Amino acid sequence: MILGTGTPTLDAALARRIRLVAFDVDGVLTDGGIILGDTAGARVELKQYDIQDGLGIKMLQQAGLLTAIITGRESVSVALRAQELAVDDLVQDREARKVPALKRLLAARGLTMAEVAFVGDDLPDLGVLRLVGLPVAVGNATAEVRRTATLQLTRTGGAGAVREFCEVLLRARGEWDAQVEAYVASRSEGA
In 3D space, the residue among 115, 124, 172, 118 whose CA is nearest the CA of residue 144 turns out to be: 124
For 73-96, write each residue's pLDDT tens digit: 888 999 999 999 999 999 998 888
Domain positions in the chain are: 12-184
Predicted local distance difference test score (pLDDT) of residue 191:
60
In 3D space, the residue among 92, 138, 134, 91 whose CA is nearest the CA of residue 112 turns out to be: 134
pTM: 0.93
Higher pLDDT, 190 or 139: 139
Instruction: Let me know if domain 12-184 sits in CATH 3.40.50.1000.
Output: yes
The yes-or-no verdict on residue 2 having pLDDT over 60 is: no
CB 165 within 8 A of CB 121: no
For the chain, give the mean pLDDT: 93
Determine the distance from the C-alpha atom of residue 46 to the mean position of all C-alpha atoms in its chain, rounded to a whole number: 19
- Percentage of the chain beyond pLDDT 90 is 80
